[in-house]
Amino acid sequence: MGGPSAQSGQIEQDAHAVFLLHREKGVLPARQGKEAESYFTGEDKIIIAKQRSGPSGTHAKVRFDGPMAKWEER
């Protein structure tokens, strides 16, 4: 029996759909003794990497609603 890395391909092979979340990150430059800061831009995407009954390689533009802990179309 293989370890986790040997089984990782099996999950994708068995899945009917695989979705990936991409959260774009920006960087505020360092200034006046402060370090550079990173932040999420709100330009999130849900990418359809695999779908047995439809197109793959497409994406939906979404935004994250933190207080409700959900993504909504934008």
For 21-68, write each residue's pLDDT tens digit.
Answer: 988 888 888 888 888 888 888 788 999 988 888 888 899 999 888 888
Closest by alpha carbon to 44, among 15, 27, 65, 28?
A: 65
For 3-29, write each residue's pLDDT tens digit.
Answer: 555 666 777 778 888 899 988 888 888
Output the pLDDT for position 34.
84
pTM (predicted TM-score): 0.63
How far is residue 40's CA from residue 21's CA, in Å, rounded to a whole number? 13
